Amino acid sequence: MSLTVNAGRLRADLQALGEIGRGPDGGISRTAFSAADLQAREWYQSACREAGLTVQVDGIGNMVAGAGGDPAAAAVWSGSHLDTVPSGGAFDGAVGAVAALECVRRIAEEGIGLRRPVRAIVFADEEGNYSPLLGSSALVQGFTAGQLAQMTGRDGDRLTDAIAAAGWDPGRLTATRVSPNAVYAFAELHIEQGPKLEAAGTQIGVVSSIVGLGGAVAEFRGRADHAGTTPMTARQDPMLAAADLIAGLPGIAASVGPAAVATCGRVDAHPGGANVVPDRVSVTLDFRDPDAANLAALSARISARAAEVARAHGVTSVWLPDEQIAPTSLDARMQAMIAEHATSLELSAVSMPSGAGHDAQNMATIAPAGMIFVPSAGGRSHCPEEHTDWADVTNGANVLLNILVELATAGLS
Ligand code: GLV
Ligand code: MN
Ligand code: MN
């Protein structure tokens, strides 16, 4: 007999959380360590307390909740994130974080005897305001104080200042590494964030692999001048180089392969006056491919193009790359287990890769990791319209509950 979550409680929790950080456009802005993110963390910790769970928070804000158990015994971990992109949706991250908590509550209510504890996790800054998959990267590989001191957010603010403003101790930022022995397996429920499941009428996605992620800032430097009096031929306008680079992104992605994507979601011009030719323009880039060699080619081709357009427009350029996150295959045994439980719950399932990045790709470096996808209405995500039907959220949480129990009892074979 399959176990099921308390669908009403899960929905009520997600709806309560979905009011935190909601703006006038209906979008949710809970960027990492903002007031809204801190409020969401408070909400989560209080839900854990109500369920009798203790929550441990590491130096960078990763939260691990559980009902005790032998701290030395490897535990089954499940969770996701509470932070969002600016003006994002109520389901990205929240579904997996709250469903993991719901599963831990249901396991306690059912009094299921476990061989190893199940822990619910919230990763800090999954959306990478300060660094891609910041919290899970800090957990599995750690950062030095020097690296952390260099990290700045999209508003130019320093991570260490954001941590201090949140009332936390920046001196503890490096206290994050988890021993690989502490994690038996990791499972994450997430919305698909794309159109495939809905279009196929399939209820569950069994994630086979996660795309590789790269990022960089291409900074162009020219000369500030008067917008009315400086002849067009006498300018060193870095905005033209930026525009040229951005316009070339589709061609570069196509030259690398059919799955390659490259995006500029942000341009910053200095000093930022409509009647001033800027002296500095920063182009923030995100590029991805499921294949490691293609990811490297994307990075090389975009950076070469940045240098080329800078020369063509008589400005200079600097390429500031982010740490790359490698493409990741998820554990075959976990994939089989997810597919089997979907079938037992009479849910249709399909194997699929993920084009979005997830903390599971970091967790996969220290433990067997698996991911369950549920459909996204209209394939929309990272926008206020993001939605997943409540029945789909429940389906995904039911699959998660059953695999967590199997992992914590029989285990992987
Ligand atoms: C995470 O949401 C990503 O950017 O893929
Ligand atoms: Mn996201
Ligand atoms: Mn997410």
Reduce the DSSP state of residue 80 to 3 states and report it.
Answer: strand
Nearest CA to ligand 1 atom 1: 357
- CA torsion sign for 245, 249, 255, 260 is positive
**pLDDT tens readout for residues 237-255:** 999 999 999 999 999 999 9
Ligand 3 centroid to Cα of residue 315, in Å, is 37
CB 290 within 8 A of CB 221: no
Mean pLDDT of the residues in the chain: 96
Query: CA angle at residue 100 from 357 to 43, to 5 degrees?
Result: 95
Atom number, ligand 1, closest to the C-alpha of residue 356? 5
| Residues contacting 5, CB < 8 A, separation 6+ | 99, 102, 103, 106, 394, 397, 398, 401
Neighbours of 409 (CB within 10 A): 13
pLDDT at 155: 86
% of the chain surpassing 90 pLDDT = 96
Query: Which residue out of 133, 285, 382 has the highest number of ligand 1 atoms within 8 Å of its CB and is therefore the one to mutate?
Result: 382
Indicate whether 72 pLDDT > 70.
no
Q: What percent of the chain has pLDDT over 70?
A: 99
Q: Which atom of ligand 1 is nearest to the CA of 355?
A: 5
Rounded Cα–Cα distance for residues 18 and 121 (Å): 18
Per-residue pLDDT band for 190 (boundaries 50, 70, 90) equals very high
**Distance separating alpha carbons of residues 269 and 243, to the nearest angstrom:** 12
356 lines ligand 1 (CB under 6 A): yes
Phi, psi (degrees; rounded to nearest 5) at 307 = -65, -40
Question: What residues contact residue 234 under an 8 Å CB cut-off, 6+ apart?
Answer: 225
Indicate which ligand has the atom closest to the C-alpha of 123.
3
CB 357 less than 6 A from any atom of ligand 1: yes
Gap between the Cα atoms of 94 and 20, Å rounded: 11
Dump pLDDT digits (tens) for 294-343: 999 999 999 999 999 999 999 999 999 998 999 999 999 999 999 999 99
Buried b (16+ CB within 10 A) or exposed e, 204-241: bbbbbbbbbbbbbbbbbbbbbbeeeebeeeebbbbbbb
Ligand nearest to the CA of 325: 1
Mean pLDDT (whole number) for 116-124: 97
What mean pLDDT do residues 50-72 have?
Answer: 89
Separation of CA 358 and ligand 3 centre (Å): 6
Q: Is the CB of 375 under 6 A from ligand 1?
A: no
Decide: 294 and 257 in contact? Cβ < 8 Å: yes
Of the candidates 331, 253, 284, the residue with the CA atom closest to the CA atom of residue 128? 284
What is the pLDDT at residue 413? 86
Taking each helix axis from N to C end, the angle separating 7-17 and 390-408, rounded to the nearest 10 degrees, works out to 110
Residues 6+ apart with CB under 8 A from 168: 59, 61
Interval 346-374 mean pLDDT? 97
Per-residue pLDDT tens over the stretch 46-60: 999 999 999 999 999
**pTM summary value:** 0.93
- Which ligand is in closest contact with the Cα of 95? 3
Whether 354 has a pLDDT exceeding 90, the answer reads yes
DSSP assignment of 253-320 equals: HHHH-TT-EEEEEEEEEES--TTEE-SEEEEEEEEEESSHHHHHHHHHHHHHHHHHHHHHTT-EEEEE
| pLDDT value at 71 more than 70 | no
pLDDT the model gives residue 73: 77
Please check the confidence at residue 150 and state whether its pLDDT lies above 90. yes
Task: Give the mean model confidence (pLDDT) for residues 102-123.
Answer: 96
Q: Which of 325, 358, 361 to mutate to test the pocket of ligand 1 (most atoms within 8 A of CB)?
A: 358
Place 1 in a pLDDT band, splitting at 50, 70 and 90.
confident
* Bridge partners for 191 per DSSP: 374
- Model confidence at 353: pLDDT above 80: yes
Ligand 1 atom having least distance to the Cα of 286: 4
Residue 179 exposed, middle or buried by CB count within 10 Å (0-12, 13-18, 19+) = exposed
Q: Do 320 and 288 contact (CB within 8 A), yes or no? A: no
CB of 132 shorter than 6 A to ligand 1: no
Distance (Å) from CA 84 to ligand 2 centroid: 6
